[in-house]
Structure 1
Amino acid sequence: MLNLSIILEDSARNAPDRTALVFGDLRLPYSLVDTVANQVANLLVARGIGKGDKVALLCPNVPYFPFVYFGILKAGATVVPLNVLLQPREITYHLTDSDARAFFCFEGAAELPMGARGRQAFNTVESCEHFFALPATPLATESEHGESFWAALDGMPGEFETVQTAPDDTAAILYTSGTTGQPKGAELTHQNILINTMVSDEMFPTAPDGDVSLIVLPLFHSFGQIPGMCVSMRRGATLVLQPRFEPGEALELMRREKVTMFAGVPTMFWALLSKIHADEAEAPSTLRLAVSGGAACPVEVLKDFEATFGVPILEGYGLSETSPVASFNQLKRPTKPGTVGFPVWGVQMRLVDDDWNTVEDLGEVAIRGHNIMKGYYGRPEETAEVMRDGWFRTGDVATRDEDGYYSIVDRTKDMIIRGGFNVYPREIEEVLMTHPAVSLVAVVGVPHDSHGEEIKAYVILAPGAKATEGELVDWAKENMAAYKYPRTIEFRGSLPMTATGKILKRELR
């Protein structure tokens, strides 16, 4: 018997009155979160949903997410969390591809009508039998989109005996963003997520009077869900939920709730710093753990954050397919800024070439361990392409130093081939970020008649800074090899980003 919901149940048993969730003026204790999750499990069982069934959840960072997530797990079913930005056609694809039998969908708001989109998609998928609307108005028993969550829970008992699941039963299907072709669902087992949660939790000591974790990373994404929600819940921390990252509000929440833990992607750390410098404000003083992942954090941001907040950003690395944490800058050895540390307990990493041969200095990262997914749901051929003898190849190019620390160079698909030379955008971005006028940069390859690809940089200038395209190109030329420096620079006020805050390079190409 191994069911991931134990992390909520344990904390609810050990500290029932401790605040689990903070959302606006709401403060909900662990006992209540566990009780509502039990009601959700009872509801699913009453509707004929149980072990092995898939249940989709489209919901931002609001209390419904953990209620439903853990309720699905308790019932022995599999959670399929969906990106809140999906359009009806895309939701239809995910419901169909995952064989979802039920769908919990947040109503949303005028600017993001999740309920309307979700209901439209649900109506086209015959195999999905149940639709539950998660009302935007707390405790509302009616919804224009269908059966209200609260009406459905009415009369459901608050106790539930969690269904026994095996370690290799699927707990969640997490859809990868699908930079190539259609998104694929990575099947993560109860064991995958539980061990990853435990290993991640035990890397860092808990604060003496308990931790307060600011959750801004989307909970539908592996980073927000596992190192964010699951780790925080296992250690009985208070989770402060922010549905949409906004740097001013995030800093205010840090100060008001005395936040001790923050995990984000590099653009979030950049935005927090930009806000503090623009306002000439003091940084919040209670933060003791800052974790970055999702993309490589520019060294300039790492330096600025430590100087401003007084704590280093610890970088880690992983993917949905690795549950997600694979390597980390861990406290038992010195932190090396700019690296993603070394493999976490129970995980092995190596660098390989196209034929899976181990290489020493530069290669594609391959990973083996308790964290590797079962496979892509319903896609044996695509699973076989990336898995061999328990090893999973990631599509990320990295180097490893003499101490065993890995540094991610770039995604294999982001690499630019200019005139026969391999150019890694991240290297150019790092150099450009050291220019005093540059605040943020994204480098892509654009088609070119004679060179195959040419290098182009999109630049956000620092507040009040001035620079022309010619000045920056000349400066880059002096600081980089001839085949590397960007030939064109376009100034932007903002860059396109995913819901998780990663820069969308495919939209810039």
Structure 2
Amino acid sequence: MLNLSIILEDSARNVPDKTAIVFEGLRLPYSMVETIANRVANLLVARGVGKGDKVALTCPNVPYFPFVYFGILKAGATVVPLNVLLQAREIAYHLDDSDAKALFCFEGTAELPMGRRGREGFQAADGCEHFFVLPATPLATESEYGESIWAALNGMAGEFETVQTAPEDTAVILYTSGTTGQPKGAELSHQNMLMNAMVSDEMFPRTPGGDNYLAVLPLFHSFGQTVVMNTGFRRQGTLVLMPRFEPGEALELIRKENITFLPAVPTMFWGLLTKIHAEGAAAPTSLKLAVGGGASLPVEVLRDFEQTFGIGILEGYGLSETSPVASFNQLGRPTKPGTIGTPIWGVEMKLVDSNWKTIVGEGPGEIAIRGHNVMKGYYNRPEATEAVMNDGWIRTGDIATRDEDGYYAIIDRSKDMIIRGGFNVYPREIEEVLMTHPAVSLAAVVGIPHESHGEEVKAYVILSAGASITEDELVLWCKETMAAYKYPRIVEFRDGLPMTATGKILKRELR
């Protein structure tokens, strides 16, 4: 018996009155998070959702996320967290692909109408039976999009006996776009997720008096889920939820809530520094630990952060398929800026060539990982799983070197993946959508350098004969068709694209 929900249950049992979540004016103790999660579990069982069923969750960093996440786990079901920026068409795809039986969806706002998109996606999906709305107005029992969770939870008991799950049962399916364009679901077991949280917890010293996390990394993403929520709950910390990163507001929260632990992506660190320098204000002094991941941090930002905040940023590395943490600049060892550190406890890393042959010495080579953190495989995709896994090892698609001390440094991403603001954007997926537009004959998408997002998405387009559309109009169409983090902000029309003899587009010439 092993269920990831133990990290909440244990803390609720040991420190029931300790504040688990701070959100706007709310301060919720562990006992309350546990009680609502139990009610969600009772609701699912009452609606016929149980062990092994998949339940999707579209929700930003608000208290509903942990309520529902742990409720799904307690019921023995599998959580399928969805990116809050997905459009209706993309939501339907994820629901169908994961065989989700239910969707919990946040209502959203006028700017980000998650409820409307979720409802349309749910209606377009074949096998999804239940749709629960997480209303934007606290405790609202009605919603224009469907059944409110509060109405559904009415009469549900606050106690629940957690369903027994085995260590290898699937706890979470995290969607990651493969280079094939369509997103694939990485199946992560209770053991994968729990071990990753435990090792992450052991890796960072606890602050006497408790740790306060700024939870601004999206919890639907593996980094936020494991390193912030699961690790934070395991160590009985307090999560200060922030649905949307805004540097001024983040600095205010760090000061006001005495934040000790800041996990973030490079663009967030960059934003905080830019804000502090622009205002000439002093940096908050409560931070004990800053952890970076999601993309490589420019060494200039690392130096600036250390000078400004008085602490360094510890960089790590991982992917959804590895739960996610695989390597880290660990305390007790020298930190090497610009590297992703050494493998975490219980995990091995090596460099391989395209035939899985091990590369000795410093490389370069593709990083391969083996250990307790490696996924079971891609859900219902044996061929895709076989393409990346071999004898317990998974190849990452990231090209790195390794120094004599065993520290890895990423030099390039194999394939052409773009990392925009910490989100992975796969050009092939964007190209395929672009080519559904009647005016588009051919498209090539690349990442171009951007000072705050790291990379920006740019599309080179050859128009169909006789087509009349402007570059701006096509950008607008993309904006309405794709999630906000992936649509191309720049479109350039061309008469031709550079190609190899076999007709392969030479993207390196477009960058």
Query: Which of the five TM-score ranges fits, normalised by the shorter chain?
Result: 0.7 to 0.9
The answer to whether the 8 Å contact 2:85/2:484 transfers is no
What one-letter code is carried by the residue in structure 1 that aligns with 2:398?
A: D
Q: Distance in 2 between matches of 1:247 and 1:499?
A: 23
User: How do 1:256-405 and structure 2 match up within 5 A?
Assistant: 256-360=256-360, 361-405=363-407
Aligned length: 439
The answer to whether the 8 Å contact 1:294/1:502 transfers is no
The answer to whether the 8 Å contact 1:196/1:325 transfers is yes
Q: Distance in 1 between matches of 2:387 and 2:164?
A: 32
The answer to whether the 8 Å contact 2:259/2:286 transfers is yes
Offset, 1:170:
0.1
What are the superposed Cα offsets for residues 153-177 of structure 1, whole Å, 9 maximum, x if unpaired?
Answer: 0000000000000000000000003
TM-score (norm 2): 0.83
The answer to whether the 8 Å contact 1:326/1:347 transfers is yes
What are the superposed Cα offsets for residues 83-103 of structure 1, whole Å, 9 maximum, x if unpaired?
Answer: 000000000000000000011
The answer to whether the 8 Å contact 1:267/1:502 transfers is no
Matching of residue 175 in structure 1 with residue 161 in structure 2:
no
Offset, 1:333:
1.1
User: How do 1:117-156 and structure 2 match up within 5 A?
Assistant: 117-156=117-156
Pick closer, same or farther for the CA change 1:457–1:118 going to 2, 3 Å. Answer: closer
User: How do 1:189-268 and structure 2 match up within 5 A?
Assistant: 189-268=189-268
Q: Judge which range, 328-337 or 2-11, deviates more.
A: 328-337
2:100 corresponds to: 100
Pick closer, same or farther for the CA change 1:395–1:329 going to 2, 3 Å. Answer: same
TM-score (norm 1): 0.83
The answer to whether the 8 Å contact 1:397/1:409 transfers is yes
The answer to whether the 8 Å contact 2:142/2:148 transfers is yes
Pick closer, same or farther for the CA change 1:92–1:328 going to 2, 3 Å. Answer: same
1:406 corresponds to: 408
Q: Distance in 2 between matches of 1:502 and 1:152?
A: 35
Q: Distance in 1 between matches of 2:188 and 2:240?
A: 26
Q: Distance in 1 between matches of 2:192 and 2:303?
A: 34
Q: Distance in 1 between matches of 2:490 and 2:41?
A: 40
Offset, 1:178:
4.0
The answer to whether the 8 Å contact 1:142/1:148 transfers is yes
1:30 corresponds to: 30
Pick closer, same or farther for the CA change 1:113–1:252 going to 2, 3 Å. Answer: same
Identity %: 73
**In structure 1, the residue corresponding to 2:269 is in which secondary structure?**
helix
1:52 corresponds to: 52
What are the superposed Cα offsets for residues 404-423 of structure 1, whole Å, 9 maximum, x if unpaired?
Answer: 000011211249xxxxxxxx
**In structure 2, the residue corresponding to 1:16 is in which secondary structure?**
coil
The answer to whether the 8 Å contact 1:340/1:406 transfers is yes
The answer to whether the 8 Å contact 1:23/1:62 transfers is yes
**In structure 1, the residue corresponding to 2:415 is in which secondary structure?**
helix
The answer to whether the 8 Å contact 1:259/1:287 transfers is yes
Offset, 1:500:
11
What are the superposed Cα offsets for residues 110-138 of structure 1, whole Å, 9 maximum, x if unpaired?
Answer: 00000000001111223100000000000
Aligned Cα RMSD in Å?
2.3
Pick closer, same or farther for the CA change 1:236–1:316 going to 2, 3 Å. Answer: same
Q: Distance in 2 between matches of 1:324 and 1:125?
A: 29
Q: Distance in 1 between matches of 2:483 and 2:198?
A: 27
Q: Distance in 1 between matches of 2:299 and 2:96?
A: 42
The answer to whether the 8 Å contact 2:87/2:483 transfers is no
Pick closer, same or farther for the CA change 1:17–1:101 going to 2, 3 Å. Answer: same
Q: Distance in 1 between matches of 2:263 and 2:43?
A: 33
1:476 corresponds to: none
**In structure 2, the residue corresponding to 1:176 is in which secondary structure?**
strand
1:186 corresponds to: 186
Offset, 1:204:
1.1
The answer to whether the 8 Å contact 2:122/2:131 transfers is yes
Q: Distance in 2 between matches of 1:282 and 1:176?
A: 39
**In structure 2, the residue corresponding to 1:123 is in which secondary structure?**
helix
1:481 corresponds to: none
2:500 corresponds to: none
**In structure 1, the residue corresponding to 2:331 is in which secondary structure?**
coil
